[in-house]
Structure 1
Amino acid sequence: MKKYISALLMGTVLIISFSFSTMKVEGAAKVKAVAYKNCTELNKVYKGGVSKDAKTTNKGGKTKYKPFVSAELYKLNEKSDRDNDGIACEK
């Protein structure tokens, strides 16, 4: 009987901890898309700039930071992508 209760309790704890960990991941994936007035403002939040997708590569020289990937955020700040490589305000 003790083994049954112990197994039931452990299973319940695992299920509860798994559900909380998946909630944190889902919440972290949401980003508030903001149109920044210039690259200085955007780079305060996203040091490497903003990329429209993960496969986009920088046309210019070397970059110091990896860009944040968000199609929605890129679309709002597309005016700041001067070299039209799909990465706005890359550093």
Structure 2
Amino acid sequence: MKKLFAALLSLGLIIGFSFSAGGVVEAKPKVKTYKNCKALNKVYKGGVARAKSVKNKGGKTKYKPYVSKALYDANKKLDRDKDKIACER
């Protein structure tokens, strides 16, 4: 009787853990990519910087860039002067 109880308890624990662990999926938030700088600047007037400490190579700008590593990496192709700020204005 004790062996039967132990076997059923073990089976129940195995089945319970397999269903609970399999259902956990962490989704990464999707980052929007933009077709060109005009589309990006409609949302982010100053462009998108990769880090807070990044300095602009291209001279004076009117607006301060939005800082987001994920957003910059998704739109890296729009950074023409390679200064880690995409579409600065």
Q: Distance in 2 between matches of 1:42 and 1:32?
A: 16
Larger fraction in helix: 1
Find out whether 1:60 has 2:61 as its counterpart: no
Q: Distance in 2 between matches of 1:34 and 1:89?
A: 15
User: What are structure 1's unaligned runs of at least 5 residues?
Assistant: 1-30
Deviation at 1:33, TM superposition (A): 2.0
What's the CA shift string for 1:65-87, capped at 9, x where partnerless? 00000000000000000000000
Query: TM-score, with normalisation over the residues of structure 1?
Result: 0.65
Q: Percent same amino acid at aligned positions?
A: 62
- 1:34–1:86 CA distance, 2 compared to 1 (3 A): same
Query: TM-score, with normalisation over the residues of structure 2?
Result: 0.66
What's the CA shift string for 1:36-73, capped at 9, x where partnerless? 00000000000000000000010011000000000000
Query: CA-atom RMSD, angstroms?
Result: 1.3
Consecutive aligned runs of 4 or more in structure 1 exceeding 2 Å deviation: none
Which of the numbers 32, 35, 57 marks the counterpart of 2:33?
Answer: 35
Q: 1:45 is matched with which residue?
A: 43
Give SS of 2:73's match. Answer: helix
Q: 1:78 is matched with which residue?
A: 76
Q: Distance in 1 between matches of 2:85 and 2:30?
A: 18
Give SS of 1:35's match. Answer: coil
